[in-house]
Amino acid sequence: MSYQALARKWRPRRFTDVVGQAHVVGALTTALEQNRVHHAFLFTGTRGVGKTTLARLLAKALNCEQAPCAEPCGSCPACIGVDEGRYIDLLEIDAASRTRIDDTREILDNVQYAPTLGRYKVYLIDEVHMLSGHSFNALLKTLEEPPPHVKFLLATTDPQKLPPTILSRCLQFNLRVLKPEEITGQLHKIANAEGLEVDEVGLATLARAASGSMRDALSLLDQGIVFGSGRVTGTEVREMLGMIEQQQVDTILRALAAADGSTLIDTVAQMASRAIDYMAALDDLLLVLHDVSLYQILPEAASAKQADSDLVVHLASTMTKEDVQLYYQIGMLGKRDMLLAPDPVSGFEMTLLRMLTFHPADEGGAGSSAEPPAQKAPTAPARKQRTQGQGVVSGVVSVRATGASADSAPPAEPASVQSMVPPPETDLADPDLWATFVDDSGLKGVSREFAMNLSPQSYDPQKKVLIVSLKPNLAKLHSQSRQASLENAFSQFNGSPVKLKLIDGSEDPPETPTQNRARHDSEEKAEVYKTLMEDPMVKDIMERFDATVVPDSVRPGKQHKES
């Protein structure tokens, strides 16, 4: 007997066998149970997620001898015929090869005739978006007034190309890509049934390489069985796919964390001895960096997805959050630039060198002699000092004045270094301070809008928690990821960790940055107007020409704002 590919052999025969599409299966079975089956269905989704499989199962359920039923029996002539691809009342049409209007008319001319064996004549049109405009027009007429014995099941990977007139006449079901753990579970079930020697790492690697497609995963499993002579293990799967070894992933990331360029280049040289897919190698590094960032910001979420490996915990403790984000961004850009590189290995190596180049040198550590360490950003109190007009230059002068003499005094520190010492009386719940943070944070888009509408209420220095309020009508601006990003930015601004606690701001809260900015603008405008009206020259002009000054026309100048 000839070998049958796993993707065909393990195609679901019942709705309960379908993996990862519970939302679609539930809707279809409910419609069958209540005998409320629409005349036209559209299944959309990427390749290999179950579009034609669900269409065939629906065709079986409609023509099963036990119909109407939510689950076809699988043993009657109709069910067996559909499974074997020879049921006369199920007409499967590949729209990619039959795009002409003549082909469509030839198919639809037979719609009026009753089914030969079953209860319904079912038309399954795959890749329906490939039909021509005239073919769509011909199909539209039939979809508008179909005979009661006809059902249309359409499937496509590109629903955007379908005319709105077609979409409006179908019940549309969007099939989602499968999660890696869903694919891994199904692969494990199949491997056990087939008596294969596998390990969890090998199956998980295949699942990730399938990119959400169960059919691709089964095809890769077939390939892995042949490649490993019946064994599907992590090492053999990575070799088959040209993936970087896990040990090399560990070595590269640990070398980055330690700014060890020699180990980095040596590891890339070792990789060159194998047929490596360098784009996939970057993906492996990015996946670990994602887990590291998740562990740093939300450790409980990392534990829930079992991403808190020894490597992740080590990197999370040795890399700053900013470094992880920077490396991730450089890696993402490296994937784009790799297509333009002279060759993949040099593109991969250049991406790692960029990460190494932007690694900040530790003060007094290795590499500190090459260039001075990056100065830390001014702390929140220092920024507040600037906004209140307490000049940093005057602070330098006062320090020098207390010394023995100008000649013996040590050179003054840069202003940004001196301003890093926070005054003890600083209140992190000060609306002015919060407004300054938002202005200096570099936040953009919805995150900035979220921060602009938060009102600082109070600060608990023991718990390091800043309580902020948000009006209920703006609750849509809040999300856990946005709050975590804001906490990270404010902690950097303050120079020490701070957590945010969000409360209801329905009552009259302190100022938001938006209100703070409006108040300061109003105060500046009033001050400028007062100064202008007291100016002797302005008074003289007003008296000479019987003129008036329109208050709304007064605007603070740049010099006034900077002072």
Contact 482, 298 (CB under 8 A): no
pLDDT at 389: 38
**pLDDT, tens digit (0-9, with 9 covering 90-100), for 220-270:** 999 888 888 888 888 888 888 877 777 888 899 999 988 888 888 888 888
The predicted pLDDT at position 104 comes to 75
* Residue 237 identity (one-letter amino acid): V
Q: What is the DSSP letter of 499?
A: E
Provide mean pLDDT across the span 461-488. Answer: 86
Residue 70: partners with Cβ closer than 8 Å, 6 or more residues away? 15, 29, 30, 32, 33, 61
Q: Which residues contact 20 (CB under 8 A, 6 or more apart)?
A: 49, 50, 176, 178, 179, 182, 214
- Write b or e for each residue in 530-563: b if 16 or more Cβ atoms lie within 10 A of its Cβ, otherwise e: eeeeeeeeeeeeeeeeeeeeeeeebebeeeeeee
Identity of residue 5: A
Distance CA 194, CA 209 (A): 21
Region 434-444: mean pLDDT is 85
CA distance 399 to 406: 11
Q: Does pLDDT of 406 surpass 70?
A: no
Looking at domain 6-174, its CATH superfamily turns out to be P-loop containing nucleotide triphosphate hydrolases (3.40.50.300)
Tens of pLDDT, residue by residue over 66-110, are 877 888 888 898 999 998 888 998 988 888 777 677 777 777 778
- Report the pLDDT value the prediction gives residue 325, as an integer from 0 to 100: 92
pLDDT above 70 for 216: yes
Instruction: Name which of 318-327, 330-339, 340-349, 425-434 the model is least confident about.
Output: 425-434
Q: How buried is 86 (Cβ within 10 angstroms: 0-12 exposed, 13-18 middle, 19+ buried)?
A: exposed
DSSP state of 99: -
Q: What's the whole-number mean pLDDT along residues 392-404?
A: 32
Whether the pLDDT of residue 113 is over 80: the answer is: yes
**388, 380, 384: which is closest to 490 by C-alpha?**
380
Q: In the numeric block, which tokens belong to residue 53?
A: 């499989």
The CATH fold assigned to 431-511 is GMP Synthetase; Chain A, domain 3 (3.30.300)
Q: Quote the pLDDT of residue 152.
A: 92
CA distance 404 to 408: 7
Q: Which fold has domain 180-241?
A: Helicase, Ruva Protein; domain 3 (1.10.8)
Enumerate the domain spans of the chain: 6-174, 180-241, 246-357, 431-511, 518-562
- For the segment(s) 246-357, the CATH number from 3.90.1150.110, 1.20.1560.10, 1.20.272.10, 1.10.3720.10 is 1.20.272.10
Domains 6-174 and 180-241 share a fold: no
Average pLDDT over residues 424-442: 81
